[in-house]
Amino acid sequence: MADELRHECGVVALYGLSRSASKAGPASRAVRDGNVAALVPRMLLDLQNRGQLAAGISTYATGREQLLDTYKDVGTVMDVFRMTAPGKHQALMAPYAGSAAIGHTRYATCGRDDRRYAQPFERHHGRLWEWFSFAFNGNLANFPDLRDRLKKENDYHFALDTDTEILLHKLAHGLRADRPRSLKSLLASLSRAFDGAYNIAFLDAMGRMFVARDPLGMRPMCWAVQGRLFAAASESVALSNLGFQKIQSLEPGQAAIVEDGALRLERFAPARRRAHCFFEWIYFSNVASTLDGSGVYLARARSGQRLAEWEDQALDADCIVVPVPDTAKAAADAFGYHLGLPCIEGIIRNRYVGRTFIQSGETRGDNARRKYTPLPEVLKDKRVFLVEDSIVRSTTLSALVEQIRTVGRPREIHVRVACPPIVAPCFYGIDMSTLGELFAPKFAPRGYTGNPSAAMQARMAHTLGIESLRYLSVEDLAWCLQIDAGSLCTGCVTGKYPTPWGGKLIRTARRNHGRGKTGRTYE
């Protein structure tokens, strides 16, 4: 179930350009006032779905002692920036007024309550081109190798257990020179060293900025210009809600660079292939976003349509469709519509219970049971088609099925899942647990390619205690997302990864799993 997934993060960037690149828009007042930084908390709030553990901002302004300055803390965007108290929010943001800014909102698997892990990361230096701040979204699959090489060859010490610190050191090393280095060449050198997903928003004390997307385009990165305001964000919704209209996606291996107040697009690495993460559409992204030309809402709706097209159960007047709140709602609506079945909220989500993956293993099941309340007046004696976006460990789904059986007393429960079975971990920014903790791998036959057989799904349904279970196939994903199948990363549903280090890590994970080792020993 997707809310057992640990998410990555969200980044934003804003710059008041020296001259207008297009017609001015609603956010142009911030440029006239010379303080685009004031818009960052609002943008981060639109990306709160991508991270709720910490948030921060770095801003640039000439004429102040701290040309580059950073504020960050643990908590939600509302809490960190004190947005519920306008007076306190304005007082907090006043010292960080600036003509350029980057921001970050974070989920994490380590250091959750440690402010040091919050981003942006800032590195002070006397030379302006070596004084910089950056925000990072993704995961370096070759993080252990990079860390070991830096320790061995350069005698580095690491204070934090995170690949963001690796990136900090690599940026600092690349910028070390007697004169400012080309940002394009800096990014080109990073692309040769890094394996994985890495979207970066960078700002230095010279007032230079870049927003870069990795050569595989794993994570989304959108940008737009209106009047003199350049903006970029992990999702289009953060830009559209500011009034931007012509919103585009950075191409894989492409960077938007601002120098001397002027914007240009540069390709810093060849995009030999693309590997977009399909989970951005299935679960992670805001339903109002459009990523790489494909709308999130319509992608989820098409997944429900495709599930309906494959439906083989006999239907009658007692059948109802029930979405698992909230990310499966669009799929469930479409599933019901195409089968002529009513889609009803038979489960109410308690929004004051935290996400189950944040809890320890001992309490996750209890929290899952507190998370949802079945409605017996809706479910009793019905044949329930429960629609979910994905199943990871199955802890939450198992607890929910038990609740529905006990409280709702339906006649039957049929589960429909709007993505393929997850049979392998992700090494590119989504923590899907270890191989042994995942639900599906134990049911997948040798040579499994991502298309679950009827027999495989029947065994899974029996384990879950439900009448039937149906997944989408890997082939269905491309149609649902309206993206070429060869442009998707399907590592977690096929075990075949788009980068060399992805392949290395899954082989290590399988060896360790076969030897009975537990823990994230592939890291």
Which residues are the active-site residues? 9
Q: Which strands sit side by side in the sheet containing 262-267, from one edge to the other?
A: 121-123, 132-140, 196-204, 209-212, 254-259, 262-267
Q: How far apart are CA 165 and CA 365, in angstroms?
A: 34
Residue 225: partners with Cβ closer than 8 Å, 6 or more residues away: 17, 21, 22, 231, 246, 263
Q: How far apart are CA 163 and CA 137, in angstroms?
A: 11
Q: How far apart are CA 115 and CA 399, in angstroms?
A: 34
In this structure, are strands 412-417 and 383-388 parallel, antiparallel, or unpaired?
parallel
**Helices vs strands, H then E, count in the chain:** 18, 23
Contact 11, 201 (CB under 8 A): yes
| Entry field: residues in the chain | 523
Burial bucket for residue 328 (CB in 10 Å: 0-12, 13-18, 19+):
buried
Q: How far apart are CA 49 and CA 117, in angstroms?
A: 19
Q: Any idea of the CA torsion for 445, 450, 455, 458, to the nearest 10 degrees?
A: 110
Q: How far apart are CA 388 and CA 464, in angstroms?
A: 14
Q: How far apart are CA 404 and CA 416, in angstroms?
A: 15
Contact 321, 336 (CB under 8 A): yes
Give SS3 for 453: coil
In this structure, are strands 132-140 and 294-295 parallel, antiparallel, or unpaired?
unpaired
Contact 106, 117 (CB under 8 A): yes
Distance from chain centroid for Cα 258: 25
Contact 475, 278 (CB under 8 A): no
Contact 222, 232 (CB under 8 A): yes
Q: Is 87 left (phi over 0), alpha (psi -120 to 50) or beta?
A: alpha
Contact 505, 427 (CB under 8 A): yes
Both structure tokens of 164? 């963001």
- Scan for tokens 């804003």, then name that residue: 14
Q: How far apart are CA 117 and CA 501, in angstroms?
A: 24
| DSSP 8-state code for residue 330 | H
Both structure tokens of 177? 């020179």
